[in-house]
Structure 1
Amino acid sequence: MPLHVPPAPAPALRSVLAALGSPTAVREARTPSLRAAQGPASPELPLPVHVLDRITPEGTSPTTRLSGWRFLIRCGERSVAAADTMLTPDGWAFSHFFEGPYITSTERSLRHAEAMPVPYQPRLLSVPELYMLTLWLHRDCTDDGAEGTLAATDLLVPLAPAPPGIAAHRPHRVAELLPMLNHRLTPAPLLSSPA
């Protein structure tokens, strides 16, 4: 089934196109592969980036917030970098270019999701406390990519590198993965010393 990629806000796309067209922005980017790219570079696959603010007790919806939109930057046949945008008081603005393992991991996970028998809306979900990024496959394809909450039936696919003990590229239902994450984020009780 094809993925239903939500449209990015037009100002976010325009800000990335402007940055790609700026020799200064590209030259100063800490992305050697983007600076060395031959030919035109184009932003593709816009994905809303949500941040998991906190994991809540079982039975309640976790709190997420939209933090930006990420575009994979394609040059020729491959993605060479990514561009993040952020919401400012004046609207959507270019934030920065970057490269690294999350780009190929995102592409790999999106290819696997395309082969699934159920349609999904792809998003990214960041769990800052664990330095973790997941591909969030949202079941309601009609939702605005900026809105929506994690549903128990949604899938989360940890991107590589994933935290120790969590397999990258393995889809998990939200109801399965969030308790594992909650366990990792809960501090261990202090043992009292014998009197």
Structure 2
Amino acid sequence: MPLHAHQAPAAALRSVLAALGSSTAPLRGTPAAEAHGGLRPEQPLPVYVLTGITGPGGPPSPRLTGWRFLLRGSDTAVGTAEAMLTADGWAFSHFGEGPYVRSTEVALRHADALPAPYRPRLLSVPELYMLTLWLHGDPAVDATDGTLSPEDLLVPLAPAPPGIAPHLPHRVDALLPLLTHRLVPAPLLHTPA
């Protein structure tokens, strides 16, 4: 079943296109960009940040912080461009490179082969230096709805924190307790004298 991608806000896409057209764009003119015949933004994903997962009050609620676009050359993604929400609307934030580019592409391809329909998103867990592909189980949900449903899938991207296998889908209700456990300090075995 194909993924049901969200459509990025027009202003977010315009800000990314303007940054790509700038003569000071960091990826422009690099060997990666030149080898792939220029770059174009594709596969927009809303980016949510999940903080305070060990806090009281039930499951945490991720907040939408931006839109990330894969920057594709002729045949592969070589970077990302991100727009963030400001008081004045959507504005270009930054370009990115590194292992999450390829990992996102791989995770999206695997997710597209799943039998159920999903809305793809990115979920960042800064406390663990972790980025996941969040597959929301309700294909009709709006991108501004940051509600984590227990049956949603989280696919950790590589590099994942130690002990968490990348590219394996986990239900939210199975992965969040594991993440919470990792963030809670272990009790002392004995008290210092």
| TM tier, smaller | over 0.9
User: Structure 2 CA distance, aligned partners of 1:147 and 1:126?
Assistant: 16
User: Per the alignment, in what secondary structure is the counterpart of residue 66 of structure 1?
Assistant: strand
Q: How far is the alpha carbon of 1:59 from its aligned partner?
A: 9.1
Are the structure 2 counterparts of residues 36 and 164 from structure 1 closer, same or farther at C-alpha, using a change threshold of 3 Å?
same
Aligned match of 1:98: 96
Q: Percent identity, aligned pairs only?
A: 65
Aligned match of 1:77: 75
Contact 1:50/1:124 (8 A) holds in 2: yes
Q: How far is the alpha carbon of 1:166 from its aligned partner?
A: 0.2
Q: C-alpha deviations, 1:8-40, integer Å up to 9, x for none?
A: 11100000000111111x2x4599455544523
Are the structure 2 counterparts of residues 10 and 194 from structure 1 closer, same or farther at C-alpha, using a change threshold of 3 Å?
closer
Contact 2:54/2:183 (8 A) holds in 1: no
Q: How far is the alpha carbon of 1:139 from its aligned partner?
A: 0.5
Are the structure 2 counterparts of residues 137 and 31 from structure 1 closer, same or farther at C-alpha, using a change threshold of 3 Å?
farther
C-alpha RMSD over aligned residues: 2.0
Contact 2:137/2:151 (8 A) holds in 1: yes
Aligned counterpart in structure 2 of residue 182 of structure 1, from 170, 180, 183? 180
Aligned match of 2:11: 11
User: Structure 2 CA distance, aligned partners of 1:93 and 1:109?
Assistant: 27
User: Structure 2 CA distance, aligned partners of 1:147 and 1:6?
Assistant: 12
Aligned match of 1:23: 23
| Partner AA of 2:161 in structure 1 | P
Are the structure 2 counterparts of residues 20 and 151 from structure 1 closer, same or farther at C-alpha, using a change threshold of 3 Å?
same
* TM-score, normalised via structure 1 length: 0.92
Contact 1:122/1:138 (8 A) holds in 2: yes
User: Structure 1 CA distance, aligned partners of 2:170 and 2:66?
Assistant: 24
User: Structure 2 CA distance, aligned partners of 1:177 and 1:59?
Assistant: 18
Q: C-alpha deviations, 1:130-149, integer Å up to 9, x for none?
A: 00000000001111112131
Q: Structure 2: any 5+ residue segments left out of the alignment? A: none
* TM-score, normalised via structure 2 length: 0.93
Contact 1:31/1:81 (8 A) holds in 2: no
Q: C-alpha deviations, 1:73-119, integer Å up to 9, x for none?
A: 01101111100111111110011111110011001010000100000
User: Structure 2 CA distance, aligned partners of 1:181 and 1:125?
Assistant: 13
Are the structure 2 counterparts of residues 194 and 79 from structure 1 closer, same or farther at C-alpha, using a change threshold of 3 Å?
closer
| Partner AA of 1:14 in structure 2 | R
User: Structure 1 CA distance, aligned partners of 2:69 and 2:14?
Assistant: 12
User: Structure 2 CA distance, aligned partners of 1:111 and 1:9?
Assistant: 23
Q: How far is the alpha carbon of 1:57 from its aligned partner?
A: 7.0
Within 5 Å, give how 1:14-53 maps onto structure 2.
14-24=14-24, 26=25, 28-29=26-27, 32-53=30-51
Aligned match of 2:163: 165
Aligned counterpart in structure 2 of residue 134 of structure 1, from 128, 132, 142? 132
| Partner AA of 2:119 in structure 1 | Q
